[in-house]
């Protein structure tokens, strides 16, 4: 029922241990990707603390990430006895496909940074779709498949793209709003030259020379973004993507799945 989706719902007795372990595995795989991404992006902080490669070195950080990847897949494979071999095989196939897409998205970002080519908003969204949407898609599929529910992969994929892109756009905006917490430094993407949608909007408006002249100065970049209405454009796009995710969920005939997807939209974006 809908009570299951309330903030204070007690799910302890409703969720089998095998499903909990799959959920843990997905989070373990997510953390592995963060450890590796932090190395590739040169990030200094994660969740308000120094990143693993800064505190322990690049080699140990790579090894930790690799260990977490193996642990995640092992946690899932061990559930074959309770969920069935076919179910586990399907979940592993979906997760491995997501793993590859996430790497492709990170690779696209690295190529952009290394080549220094102009970034268009559509390019940024494509990278966001590859870097974020597969994680939502795999998590959704794994839960539905473990529950032996009917899964329309096309619907889940489209919903995850809307959700993932909206999440990433909001994450870009949050980077400029927070001085504490996960980001630690406002405008962090400027310091590490992340190919963000905000920068793409500014480049599209013809601000390449001005951005280059700002030379990584977050205050100057913020002024340029504000002058060009970049933040407003990003906020409008995030709301459009959120609305598309809601509309897709509302169109579903299965009330339980509709409630689930709407709950996810409210929680994530």
The dihedral region occupied by 193, where left means phi > 0, alpha psi between -120 and 50, and beta the remainder, is left
**CA–CA dist 42, 23 (Å, integer):** 28
Q: In a 10 Å sphere around its CB, with 0-12 CB exposed, 13-18 middle and 19+ buried, how is residue 235 labelled? A: middle
pLDDT of 181 reads 46
Residues 6+ apart with CB under 8 A from 160: 133, 134, 136, 137, 140
Sign of CA dihedral 84, 67, 100, 155: positive
Given this model, what pLDDT does residue 48 score? 87
Question: What is the rounded distance in angstroms from the CA atom of residue 266 to the CA atom of residue 249?
Answer: 12
Please list, residue by residue across 147-185, b when 16 or more beta carbons sit within 10 angstroms of its beta carbon and e when fewer do: eeeebeeebbebbbbbbbbbbbbbbbbebbeeeeeebbb
pLDDT for 192: 46
User: Would you give per-residue pLDDT tens digits along the chain (269 residues)?
Assistant: 446 666 666 766 778 899 999 999 999 999 999 999 999 988 899 988 999 999 999 999 999 999 999 999 999 999 999 999 999 999 999 999 999 999 998 888 888 777 756 778 988 888 888 889 999 999 999 999 998 888 899 999 999 999 999 999 999 999 888 644 444 455 555 554 567 899 899 989 998 888 888 877 888 999 999 999 999 999 999 999 999 999 999 999 999 999 999 999 999 99
Helices 230-250 and 153-177 pack at an angle, to 10 degrees, of 150
Instruction: Classify 29 as helix, strand or coil.
Output: helix
DSSP letter (8 states) at residue 117: P
Secondary structure (3-state) at 46: strand
Give pTM, 2 decimals.
0.84
Q: What are phi and psi of 242, to 5 degrees?
A: -60, -45
**Are 177 and 235 spatial neighbours (Cβ–Cβ below 8 Å)?**
no
Token pair of 114 as six digits? 């290394």
Helices and strands: H and E segment counts in the chain: 14, 2
């Amino acid at each position: 029922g809908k009570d299951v989706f309330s903030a204070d719902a007690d799910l302890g007795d409703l969720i089998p241990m095998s499903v909990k372990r799959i959920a843990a595995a997905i989070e373990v795989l997510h953390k592995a990707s963060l450890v590796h991404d932090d190395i590739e992006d040169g990030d200094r902080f994660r969740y308000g603390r120094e990143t693993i490669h800064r505190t322990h070195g690049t080699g140990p950080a790579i090894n930790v990430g690799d260990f977490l990847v193996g642990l995640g897949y092992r946690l899932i494979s061990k559930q074959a006895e309770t969920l069935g071999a076919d179910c586990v095989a399907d979940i592993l196939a979906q997760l491995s496909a997501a793993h590859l897409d996430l790497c492709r998205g990170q690779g696209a970002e690295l190529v952009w940074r290394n080549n220094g080519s102009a970034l268009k908003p559509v390019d940024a969204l494509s990278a966001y779709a590859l870097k974020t949407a597969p994680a939502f898609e795999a998590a959704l599929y794994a839960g539905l498949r473990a529950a032996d529910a009917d899964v329309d992969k096309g619907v889940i994929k489209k919903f995850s793209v809307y959700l993932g892109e909206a999440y990433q756009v909001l994450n870009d905006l949050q980077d400029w709003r927070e001085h504490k917490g996960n980001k630690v430094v406002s405008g962090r993407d400027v310091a590490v030259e992340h190919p963000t949608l905000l920068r793409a909007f500014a480049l599209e408006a013809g601000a390449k020379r001005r951005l280059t002249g700002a030379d990584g100065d977050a205050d100057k970049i913020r002024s340029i973004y504000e002058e060009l209405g970049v933040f407003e454009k990003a906020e409008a796009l995030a709301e459009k993507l959120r609305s598309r995710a809601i509309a897709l969920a509302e169109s579903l005939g299965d009330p339980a799945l509709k409630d689930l997807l709407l709950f996810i939209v409210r929680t994530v974006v």
